[in-house]
């Protein structure tokens, strides 16, 4: 067991006793109920004892759940942050918690429980040929770049360069095709083309150095990796895969290159429209759903009402969860769910995957991480310039004359990215054996075809529970966790730069 697993286990050990008590009590009562239904006799004292145990366990669990759900403290431990500059502490605190937000009220939004293989490049080629777009030519460099989509170290910058800045369009269509979602949801090719063009234009609208179309393409590919290489794909329905990839594609559409806090403190039109709550995330969702629903960019017209509702619920949950101020709440919720004996809410699991992908650049090779850091700093400094012009105080890390780039990344990795990926890894390990569960259901289904109605009802019961939740049985180790080595290496590099300031000029300039 490695450090991170030990950490999570230790955190949850004291809680697991009371959860275990709930589980045992439920089993006891279920056995008694079965005996009653079968007309078997048992002692009155046995029933009284079981009920008393159940009451005790439920009360304990209720008290704990209530405490967890009402807890509005974020888990940024500032006591252990003495070694990093105050400005970096301010940035972490104002971005990833709600502490310095104008509104401190915790979101009351409750996530609802919702429930191949041709080489990359060839799918894209085939779909365009089928659509008779004779003049659409996919060059060999694009096909070559897309072939590496299964790799964690995928070079999105290279694809962007060779594809004439169309990285999102190629990656977007590629992932939809890999799971045959364009066929399944009868998406008109022309509409898909228009939608991808509009998405790309929206990401270019504010000419951001970080929150642009390359970042969107990078996040889509990272989500694809986390779903594809961990076999999480086997636990998802088609509509969940569709929602998941669309959420990744749209998650920063028309990003203004400024933060939610900036919108709120400047009382922007967007902040007014969305009442200061997850301002940008609400904008990304509202604008793209308008596009997707109808007209020449409509890609959802073939979904029936139930599919549309499930798709919309999931995409909204996932994109709202990319609001960085919900970071600690999200990580805490998943940690909490990991100690429960049976279920992880699928919507919450997919939301964590998108959030992790969104902050994953420190988990990528140094040369990519360094580029992303440079771009992000440029964007922060542009916001700082606007703040200076407007006579507002600088937001943390936005003053280009004082900002400490390496220190900010060290804090970001240590306090945000690494803990997030630890929980993500533990979560993925916990749900790995869900595939076996699906296999069992399939076997039961096959068997029910030969054994009458009662078996079919059992299968239906199993299926409905599997649709809503991911069942945890025996956690398995992930085969591929390439992010760990990059996190360590990148952290080492930043520390090296801090201790040898001369090196910094080689990597990231302190001032842009």
What residues does 153 pair with on adjacent strands?
Answer: none
Please choose, out of 45-53, 138-146, 356-364, 428-436, the segment that lies near Zn ion by the rule CB under 5 A.
356-364
Shortest CA distance to 145 belongs to which of 124, 128, 131, 126? 124
For residue 211, indicate whether it is catalytic: yes
- Least separation in angstroms between residue 368's CB and Zn ion is 15
x/- letters, 84..123, toward Zn ion (CB under 5 A):
----------------------------------------
Structure token digits, residue 246 = 């669309």
Helix or strand or coil: residue 345? strand
What is the secondary structure of 95-149 as a DSSP string? Answer: HHSSTTSS--PPP---PPP----S-TTHHHHHHHHHTT-TT----HHHHHHHTTT
- Least separation in angstroms between residue 196's CB and Zn ion is 18
| Total residues at interface with Zn ion (CB under 5 A) | 2
Give how far Cα 205 sits from Cα of 36, 259, 269, 320, 473, Å: 67, 16, 17, 21, 47
If the CB atoms of residues 93 and 222 are measured against Zn ion, the closer one turns out to be: 222
If the CB atoms of residues 250 and 472 are measured against Zn ion, the closer one turns out to be: 250
If the CB atoms of residues 155 and 252 are measured against Zn ion, the closer one turns out to be: 252
Structure token digits, residue 483 = 């992010």
What torsion, rounded to 10 degrees, do the Cα atoms 477, 246, 469, 358 define? 50
Among positions 74, 276, 358, 429, the unique one binding Zn ion when judged by CB under 5 A:
358
- Least separation in angstroms between residue 423's CB and Zn ion is 19
If the CB atoms of residues 350 and 470 are measured against Zn ion, the closer one turns out to be: 350
Residues 452-471 that bind Zn ion (CB under 5 A): none
Residue tagged active-site, from 109, 137, 160, 211: 211
Please choose, out of 7-15, 29-37, 244-252, 282-290, the segment that lies near Zn ion by the rule CB under 5 A.
244-252
323 binds Zn ion (CB under 5 A): no
If the CB atoms of residues 237 and 286 are measured against Zn ion, the closer one turns out to be: 286
- Least separation in angstroms between residue 238's CB and Zn ion is 25
Helix or strand or coil: residue 341? coil
Gap between the Cα atoms of 47 and 50, Å rounded: 5
Backbone angles phi, psi at 367, to 5 degrees: -65, -30
154: left (phi over 0), alpha (psi -120 to 50) or beta: beta
281 binds Zn ion (CB under 5 A): no
Gap between the Cα atoms of 76 and 62, Å rounded: 26
Please choose, out of 136-144, 240-248, 355-363, 491-499, the segment that lies near Zn ion by the rule CB under 5 A.
355-363
E-strand stretches of 386-476? 469-471
- Least separation in angstroms between residue 256's CB and Zn ion is 13
- Least separation in angstroms between residue 204's CB and Zn ion is 15
If the CB atoms of residues 371 and 463 are measured against Zn ion, the closer one turns out to be: 371
Gap between the Cα atoms of 180 and 354, Å rounded: 21
Gap between the Cα atoms of 62 and 367, Å rounded: 48
252 binds Zn ion (CB under 5 A): yes
- Least separation in angstroms between residue 222's CB and Zn ion is 10
Please choose, out of 52-60, 103-111, 169-177, 357-365, the segment that lies near Zn ion by the rule CB under 5 A.
357-365
Composition of the chain by helix, strand, coil, percent to 5? 70, 0, 30
Please choose, out of 127-135, 252-260, 360-368, 466-474, the segment that lies near Zn ion by the rule CB under 5 A.
252-260
If the CB atoms of residues 193 and 252 are measured against Zn ion, the closer one turns out to be: 252
Binding site for Zn ion (CB under 5 A): 252, 358
Q: Known catalytic residues?
A: 211
């Amino acid at each position: 067991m490695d450090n991170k697993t030990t950490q999570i286990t230790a955190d949850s050990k004291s809680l697991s006793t009371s959860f275990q008590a709930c589980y045992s009590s439920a089993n006891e009562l279920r056995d008694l109920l079965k005996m009653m239904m079968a007309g078997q006799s048992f002692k009155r004292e046995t029933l009284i004892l079981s009920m008393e145990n159940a009451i005790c366990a439920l009360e304990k669990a209720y008290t704990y759940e209530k405490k967890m759900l009402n807890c509005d403290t974020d888990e940024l431990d500032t006591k252990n942050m003495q070694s990093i500059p105050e400005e970096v502490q301010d940035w972490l605190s104002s971005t990833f918690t709600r502490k310095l937000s104008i509104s401190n009220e915790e979101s009351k939004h409750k996530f609802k429980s919702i429930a191949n293989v041709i080489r990359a490049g060839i799918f894209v080629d085939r779909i365009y040929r089928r659509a008779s777009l004779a003049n659409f030519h996919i060059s060999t460099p694009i096909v070559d770049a897309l072939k590496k989509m299964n790799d964690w170290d995928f070079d999105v910058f290279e694809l962007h360069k060779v594809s004439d800045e169309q990285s999102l369009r190629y990656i977007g269509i590629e992932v939809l095709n890999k799971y045959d979602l364009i066929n399944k949801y009868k998406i008109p090719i022309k509409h898909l083309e228009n939608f991808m063009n509009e998405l790309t234009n929206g990401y270019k609208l504010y000419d951001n150095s970080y929150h642009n179309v390359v970042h969107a393409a990078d996040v889509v590919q990272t989500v694809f990796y986390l779903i594809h290489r961990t076999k999480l794909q086997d636990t998802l329905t088609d509509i969940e895969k569709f929602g998941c990839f669309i959420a990744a594609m749209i998650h920063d559409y028309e990003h203004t290159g400024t933060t939610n806090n900036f919108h709120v403190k400047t009382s922007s039109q967007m902040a007014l429209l969305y009442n200061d709550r997850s301002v940008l995330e609400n904008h990304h969702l509202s604008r793209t759903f308008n596009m997707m629903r109808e007209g020449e960019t409509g890609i959802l017209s073939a979904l029936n009402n139930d599919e549309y509702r499930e798709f919309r619920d999931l995409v909204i949950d996932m994109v709202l969860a990319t609001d960085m101020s919900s970071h600690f709440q999200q990580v805490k919720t998943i940690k909490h769910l990991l100690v429960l004996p049976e279920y992880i809410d699928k919507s919450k699991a997919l939301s964590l995957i998108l959030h992790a992908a969104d902050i994953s650049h420190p988990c990528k090779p140094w040369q990519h991480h360094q580029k992303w850091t440079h771009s992000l700093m440029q964007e922060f400094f542009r916001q700082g310039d606007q703040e200076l012009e407007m006579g507002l105080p600088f937001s943390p890390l936005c003053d280009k004359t004082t900002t400490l780039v390496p220190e900010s990344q060290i804090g970001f990795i240590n306090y945000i990215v690494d803990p997030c990926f630890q929980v993500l890894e533990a979560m993925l390990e916990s749900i790995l054996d869900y595939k076996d569960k699906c296999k069992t259901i399939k076997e039961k289904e096959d068997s029910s075809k030969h054994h009458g109605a009662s078996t079919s009802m059992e299968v239906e019961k199993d299926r409905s529970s599997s649709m809503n939740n991911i069942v945890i049985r025996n956690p398995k180790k992930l085969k591929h966790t390439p992010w760990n080595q990059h996190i360590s290496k990148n952290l080492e590099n930043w520390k090296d730069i801090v201790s040898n300031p001369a090196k910094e000029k080689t990597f990231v300039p302190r001032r842009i």
